[in-house]
Amino acid sequence: MDTGDIVWVLISAALVWIMTPGLALFYGGLANKKYASNTVFLSVIILGIAPLVWSVLGYSLAFSGNGKFIGNLHNVLLNGISFSKSTMNLNIPDAAFMLFQGMFPIITVAIITGSVVGRVNLKAMLMFIPIWLITVYTPLAHMVWGGGLLAKLGALDFAGGDVVHISSGVSGLVLAILIGKRRKLKDENDEPDNIVNVVIGGALLWIGWFGFNSGSALAANSTAILAFVNTSIAAASAMVMWFIIDFIRTNKAKITGALSGSLVGLVVITPAAGLVSPTAALSMALVATPIVYFLINFLKNKFHYDDTLDAFGFHGIGGIIGGILTGVFAFKENGGLIATGSLKQLGIQGVAVIFTIIFAGVMTFIIAKLISLVVPLRVEESVEIKGIDYELHGEYISILGSTQFNNRFHTGNK
């Protein structure tokens, strides 16, 4: 065991954990005042649910056994997990590996909630979260990182393009379509609730992503450094590119736009972080950013779905582009198209992306339909119109939000 590697992986695990509170603030700051608290709550409660699911069953299903699609129950309740030795030929104990990997399902399922905030039934969502983690996340983690089907195929996913971003983005889209569009008052708009929270949340996501990508090297080595550098370059260049495009189109210098751009860069580089050069990281961000920028609104206007906070737009589309570009820019030893002139790895990446889309989409549809037989997927119309924060939570992210609720609904001034 290597003490330096252990320390780095533990620090990285903490950085990945902090991404979910960061996402809560980021989402909550962007959300309408009627459901800003509900938006934050959905991420916060996942901090409790996901680690329990992972410890009891998820880790075992993801990283035990040699099945093509799923692991086994050998490590249920963390049975047999060593705190001093590795069974995976790593320089860190199995328990450290388990802890680091266990931070990823937290942020993954939290991303999904951004597609449906404002109208999803809390009871339905609380049922959906553990079921999705067991039936969608853990099989994908096993297939990509646990020696399963996609790993055997040769798919490259350094830190979670397929497992985290495509799966959450596509699942969010399916839920958004099944639940339907938000109901709004005539004078209601989608102005962000709290720009300061967006900035704080964006900063926490950015710094947490260094652990997300660099920690995926599972050692304090040159690959970790490369992933760290690539993550920084991709986020920065995508931020600048998004700002330029948005400023030209709107003549407004938006804080939310700049941070949205950084998010695109972070998502796109995730599957390739330790597998490409810094120049490639820059290229991936510059290629992906305009595609994501224009495709988000085009798809929403074309197909009329309500992806509330663009979870599919940023994570789904960004993850798909990142997964494909990994096959283009990967180092020669990883079969990248530019380095080898061969289309083989690009084809493998395409198969992995398509498989992930279909698997996550179909499974999410099935889970949601089964839950709808027990409880409605959507809150009542009156609750949605008045605002879930007012009706369900009784607490507000901002004083302004509380004041507006009191003026509008307590006085009957609608």
Whether the predicted pLDDT of 410 surpasses 70: no
pLDDT value for 62: 97
Average pLDDT of the residues in 198-217: 97
96-128 pLDDT per residue, tens? 999 999 999 999 999 999 999 989 999 999 999
Helix axes 278-303, 222-250, angle to 10 degrees: 40
Whether the predicted pLDDT of 34 surpasses 90: no
pLDDT value for 185: 62
Between the CA of residue 114 and those of 87, 170, 294, 303, what are the distances in Å?
Answer: 37, 12, 20, 18
pLDDT value for 149: 97
Average pLDDT of the residues in 302-320: 95
139-175 pLDDT per residue, tens? 999 999 999 999 999 999 999 999 999 999 999 999 9
Whether the predicted pLDDT of 76 surpasses 80: yes
Measure the CA–CA gap between 30 and 19, rounded to whole angstroms. 16
Contact 321, 266 (CB under 8 A): no
Q: What angle do CA 220, 225, 228 make, to 5 degrees?
A: 115
344-384 pLDDT per residue, tens? 999 999 999 999 999 999 999 999 999 999 999 999 988 88
DSSP state of 404: H
Whether the predicted pLDDT of 325 surpasses 60: yes
pLDDT value for 86: 95
Measure the CA–CA gap between 301 and 53, rounded to whole angstroms. 37
Give me the CATH code for the 3-410 domain, please: 1.10.3430.10
Average pLDDT of the residues in 70-90: 95
Percent of the chain at pLDDT > 90 equals 87
Q: Is the dihedral of CA 265, 199, 116, 121 positive or negative?
A: positive
Top-ranked range on mean pLDDT: pick from 30-34, 199-203, 386-390 = 199-203
Closest CA to 169 of 4, 289, 309, 12: 309
pLDDT value for 187: 59
Q: What token pair was written down for 47?
A: 């901090």
Helix axes 94-113, 122-132, angle to 10 degrees: 140
Whether the predicted pLDDT of 404 surpasses 60: no
Contact 269, 285 (CB under 8 A): yes
Task: Quickly state the pLDDT bin for 409 (edges 50, 70, 90).
Answer: very low
Task: Please enumerate in sequence order all residues whose Cβ is within 8 A of that of 320, keeping only pairs 6 or more positions apart, or say none.
Answer: 166, 353, 357
Instruction: Measure the N-to-C terminal CA separation of the chain; round to a whole number of Å.
Output: 65
pLDDT value for 401: 47
208-247 pLDDT per residue, tens? 999 999 999 999 999 999 999 999 999 999 999 999 999 9
pLDDT value for 387: 84
Measure the CA–CA gap between 39 and 30, rounded to whole angstroms. 9
Measure the CA–CA gap between 295 and 268, rounded to whole angstroms. 15
Whether the predicted pLDDT of 414 surpasses 50: no
Measure the CA–CA gap between 164 and 158, rounded to whole angstroms. 11
Enter the pTM of the model.
Answer: 0.93
Q: What DSSP assignment string belongs to 310-369? A: -HIIIIIIHHHHHHHHHHHHS-GGGT-HHHH--SHHHHHHHHHHHHHHHHHHHHHHHHHH
Domain ranges of the chain: 3-410
Q: Which helix (H) or strand (E) holds 291?
A: helix 278-303
More confident residue, 330 or 184: 330
The phi and psi torsions of 6 (rounded to 5 degrees) equal: -60, -45
pLDDT value for 402: 47
9-18 pLDDT per residue, tens? 999 999 999 9
